[in-house]
Structure 1
């Protein structure tokens, strides 16, 4: 009887040692993270080559690519920190499926405390309608999550996978998913905000106007309401395509490509919110629109700030609630990248947070006492990036 007992004791000791090994579920989780990193890297690379394929490789684009490479290298210390958090933070729910089309995915950035329902910002990224990608909103997502705001970054089909109609439809479906499902992630479906940046501002404003037009009609097929959007934030957007065709052509997004994205010259008015809201046929839709706040830098050469000014003026003339906030000397990427990477106080970020928390006294108190945001990139690198930015 002694030998079997000794054998069982050895098994117990071996079993005890094995308890210190990584658990299989953790190993599987880490493996999934690595696989996801590889998949995302492949997708980003493919998007870059797709852009090159359509734009060609002439002198103009060689210089822009060189400038872009230097720009990315200067900001790399910040990008790497954000990328690490994006792939390995347990507060990021990546690639949540919201539809059955390719790229119908969204990322959720969750606050540390979701003991009570939190406000939600739905964000549509830019990318010249060709290289838009949900992870471009990760810096904004992490920063707002620190202030108790859930951020949902919507992915959508890019050209040539889809054209502007597909992008608007995907965005509408993504917004619908967030509104109807965010409660299960700790979000408050009664405090939803919508934001778009650059091409994402154009797409999201088209989606908002499309929804308002549907609601003012018979409302068939409506799965969410414009009334559920408390405010719209448009950052560095273009809202009148007729005024931008030649500008984009001169900057390298050639007319033929741009018209293919927008489904032909005859569709430019249809997908120009500034023109659309002046149509008497949809005047009943305008009062349904939420508060519209447009942000733009006066030093923006990718999309001039006059684009937001004209849209704000058109909105006010049509009877919508609209306001324009201009940032002196800020470029197309300053407000969205360099300033957040700089840390500390940031006017655009503080403005958005103050609006989202306007009816929450506890949140406003926490905002007032929140520590300064951490700097991610040295100032000298940020200034160099500002000077060589190709945007």
Structure 2
């Protein structure tokens, strides 16, 4: 499938996923600023039957660091809220005009905001998770491995309870795509753009999910990161989904497709296991 066809199919699927997403069972708070740029805004999804101290999940959507909008991921917010989590879905600056590390810095600010405001929505800041799909998983993984970004935003990696990555690019050198070469320029600093380069075994627990039929972000990204973390003494789990492609991995989070895969169940089980084992 060509890039244009893949993008068209993804956008069409996303439209129907959101159109069929239930409007009940949660409260949605939209367009909350976490910075001064128009792209630095987020939505919060709160379960109507929330229990005090609910885990908080900051989820970053994908789009090759060049496209995306939080309003297109209502299906993700609803999915996480349906499992009792406070879901925070930020927008972030894209290329152009920004390049690396602008979107990582925005991600750090959004996480720091979630930490500071978790209690306002019934969440527990001590149970704070980051997550994402595709380029969004890269953002979350950078925050969970390179402590400089959260520190600059007034937080720290120690504030993170865990990371859930879906089809993320964590180890994708050398860069061949012309647009990505510009986004991650200059070439001599490419290693600093790779989450795998910052692994030291002290990362928060991780669950990485990947489809073995993913031809957009190869499964080796998740396999390599899991192996390096575990070799360094950290804790990382890998879930490989046979026959599942790049978009197919996140599709079962949508309410009408939830019976087609176990991804949301794995997500929920991981968060609850980490919470039950805390403090880290």
User: What TM-score does the superposition give when structure 1 sets the normalisation length?
Assistant: 0.64
Residue 259 of structure 2 is matched in structure 1 by: 344
Does the Cα contact within 8 Å between 2:144 and 2:160 map onto a contact in 1? Answer: no
The alpha-carbon distance between structure 1 residues 235 and 151, as it changes in their structure 2 partners (threshold 3 A), is: same
The answer to whether the aligner puts 1:332 opposite 2:268 as a matched pair is no
In the alignment, which of 192, 214, 217 is matched to residue 270 of structure 1?
A: 192
1:297 CA displacement = 0.4
Query: In the aligned structure 2, how far is the partner of 1:209 from the partner of 1:200?
Result: 14
1:66 CA displacement = 4.8
The answer to whether the aligner puts 1:316 opposite 2:247 as a matched pair is no
Query: SS where residue 91 of structure 1 aligns?
Result: strand
1:80-91 aligned at under 5 Å gives the runs: 80-82=19-21, 85=23, 91=27
Does the Cα contact within 8 Å between 1:127 and 1:133 map onto a contact in 2? Answer: no
The alpha-carbon distance between structure 1 residues 204 and 76, as it changes in their structure 2 partners (threshold 3 A), is: closer
Pairs aligned (count): 275
1:76 CA displacement = 4.8
Query: In the aligned structure 1, how far is the partner of 2:208 from the partner of 2:6?
Result: 28
Query: In the aligned structure 1, how far is the partner of 2:78 from the partner of 2:249?
Result: 16
Q: Gaps (5+ residues) in structure 2?
A: none
Query: In the aligned structure 1, how far is the partner of 2:157 from the partner of 2:143?
Result: 10
The answer to whether the aligner puts 1:354 opposite 2:269 as a matched pair is yes
In the alignment, which of 45, 49, 53 is matched to residue 117 of structure 1?
A: 53
Residue 18 of structure 2 is matched in structure 1 by: 79
Query: SS where residue 314 of structure 1 aligns?
Result: helix
Query: In the aligned structure 2, how far is the partner of 1:162 from the partner of 1:330?
Result: 32
The answer to whether the aligner puts 1:261 opposite 2:183 as a matched pair is yes
Does the Cα contact within 8 Å between 1:112 and 1:146 map onto a contact in 2? Answer: no
Query: In the aligned structure 2, how far is the partner of 1:205 from the partner of 1:264?
Result: 21
The alpha-carbon distance between structure 1 residues 72 and 271, as it changes in their structure 2 partners (threshold 3 A), is: closer
In the alignment, which of 172, 180, 197 is matched to residue 116 of structure 2?
A: 180
1:101 CA displacement = 2.4
Query: In the aligned structure 2, how far is the partner of 1:139 from the partner of 1:343?
Result: 11
Query: In the aligned structure 2, how far is the partner of 1:162 from the partner of 1:149?
Result: 31
| Structure having the larger proportion of residues in strand | 2
Deviations 1:223-259 (A, max 9, x none): 223222111111101112314x23xxxxxxx32x111
The answer to whether the aligner puts 1:300 opposite 2:211 as a matched pair is no
Q: Gaps (5+ residues) in structure 1?
A: 1-59, 247-253, 278-282, 362-391
Does the Cα contact within 8 Å between 1:193 and 1:231 map onto a contact in 2? Answer: yes
Higher relative contact order (CA 8 A, sep 6+): 2
1:74 CA displacement = 6.4
Query: In the aligned structure 2, how far is the partner of 1:123 from the partner of 1:294?
Result: 14
| Structure having the larger proportion of residues in helix | 1
The alpha-carbon distance between structure 1 residues 155 and 76, as it changes in their structure 2 partners (threshold 3 A), is: closer
The answer to whether the aligner puts 1:140 opposite 2:76 as a matched pair is yes
Query: SS where residue 81 of structure 2 aligns?
Result: helix
Query: In the aligned structure 2, how far is the partner of 1:115 from the partner of 1:334?
Result: 31
Deviations 1:189-243 (A, max 9, x none): 11111112101111221122222x579xxx6x56223222111111101112314
Deviations 1:264-321 (A, max 9, x none): 21221011111233xxxxx5xx42x110211100000101111111111122222221
Does the Cα contact within 8 Å between 1:123 and 1:137 map onto a contact in 2? Answer: no
In the alignment, which of 168, 171, 180 is matched to residue 240 of structure 1?
A: 171
Q: Look at both structures and tell me which one has the larger radius of gyration over its CA atoms.
A: 1
The alpha-carbon distance between structure 1 residues 184 and 333, as it changes in their structure 2 partners (threshold 3 A), is: same
